[in-house]
Amino acid sequence: MSASVKLCSRLAVITGGGSGIGRAVCQRFAQEGASVVIADVNEDSANDTLKLLSHNNEDHKHSAFIVDVTSKQSVEQLFSQIQLRYFRPPCISVSAAGITQDEFLIKLEEDAFDKVLQVNLKGTFLVTQTLAKALISSGLSKGSIINIGSIVGKVGNLGQTNYAASKAGVEGLTKTAAKELGRYGIRCNCVLPGFILTPMLEKVPQKVLEKFAGMVPLGRLGQASDVADACVFLASNESQYITGVSLEVTGGLFTG
């Protein structure tokens, strides 16, 4: 395989980098020459991702850190650790940390609503804000913030009131950040995956997955690498005039 250099000499932080989509993003970014910071609440899985990058890590440019994106203190500590290790802030972030706690609206507990909003929406806010502040104060004139929303935030889904609300919030947050941060050369975009085969989908009954797979115009559920490819595009100069958009990676499901 010939070496590609779409993200050469870029430093990227990926939350949720220990699993699923986040892990695939780490792998694709490393292939494209980026230095990758894997950040996850699960230290073991973050370290497992780091091991997967070992063939691209002869110069130890990748690293793994523990973070709880729901905590401002933890997110700030992550960025301090990155600064200490690399002497600069990342110029790319991908907020892929996320959870589900599915239940029908009339049975949904307040705690399950709050938890999903805390990780998916507040976590994305904290990472977006902390990176924006770091980039602005460092004087770096370019950045790409990529937030992983969901097609469910646009169209809703049975049993996912909390999740759909959190992901609709991620889109609104990202579009607003794009308007505010454009003057600093910082682009902010969302990726909206459809149904992607990751550990998150393991909780969904096989019957339901088969039903959705049958509805996808491209005829299959997505792979984490499909989403990672979209993130490479949004992180790279190939999208340098694109900000404030939501890129659907759904195989055509629910599009239009």
Cα-trace Rg, the chain: 17
Q: Shortest Cβ distance from residue 170 to ligand NAP (Å)?
A: 8
Q: Is 163 a catalytic residue?
A: yes
Distances (CA, A) of 180 to 48, 94, 230, 239: 36, 18, 23, 18
Return left, alpha or beta for 185; rule: phi > 0 is left, psi -120 to 50 is alpha, else beta.
Answer: left
Given the complex with ligand NAP, which of 13 and 135 has the nearer CB atom? 13
| Residue entry with tokens 């595009």 | 233
Tokens of 228: 């990672």
Tokens of 124: 């994305």
Given the complex with ligand NAP, which of 7 and 24 has the nearer CB atom? 24
First CA to last CA distance, the chain:
36
Q: Shortest Cβ distance from residue 237 to ligand NAP (Å)?
A: 24
Q: Shortest Cβ distance from residue 236 to ligand NAP (Å)?
A: 20
The whole-angstrom separation of Cα 118 and Cα 130 is 16
DSSP 97: -
Chain contacts with ligand NAP (rule: CB under 6 A)? 15-16, 18-22, 40-42, 45, 67-70, 96-99, 119-120, 123, 148, 150, 193, 195-196, 198-201
Q: Which one is catalytic: 86, 163, 184, 241?
A: 163
Given the complex with ligand NAP, which of 115 and 142 has the nearer CB atom? 115
3-state DSSP call for residue 38? strand
Q: Shortest Cβ distance from residue 123 to ligand NAP (Å)?
A: 6
Given the complex with ligand NAP, which of 83 and 223 has the nearer CB atom? 223
Tokens of 59: 């110069």
For the annotated catalytic residues, the residue numbers are 163
